[in-house]
Structure 1
Amino acid sequence: MELGPDEFHEGDEGVYLDCPECGSPAYVTDIVETGRCTGYRGDDVEEENAEDVGAFCTAKLSLELVYTEEP
């Protein structure tokens, strides 16, 4: 998925994107450190209990920085 400048937002915790799966904020630092958005509740939460815990997002996120040198 290619991102444009309008996909980046600024919040209290830094720069974030909207998670493509659940729409929760996915802060750049969280993507780099954990690969998850704020909707992820951990592997210890069983899917049946996800409604009690809140949003349950299974998206695994990563960022790739691509550099090309202009001729």
Structure 2
Amino acid sequence: MTTSTGGYRDGPTPSWPAKSLPSPDGTADMIHRGEIRDGGDYQTRMSRIAVWNIVMDEHNYLVRRWNDFMSA
């Protein structure tokens, strides 16, 4: 990762990126020089991520009962 790309990703300071960054296909500038990323620095953005168990406690019980029902 280049210094300008890393600076834009890691910290929202007006000095980053030091130069305009092109789009993934390289056709136009996607991020302009001095643009600040929304949401704060990398640490702040990552601290907002929450992970939880999406399988309910009753899931295994309900699947067993459903299979019993379907096989009867």
TM-score by length of 2: 0.24
- Say which one has the larger Rg: 2
Structure with greater helix share of residues: 2
Structure with greater strand share of residues: 1
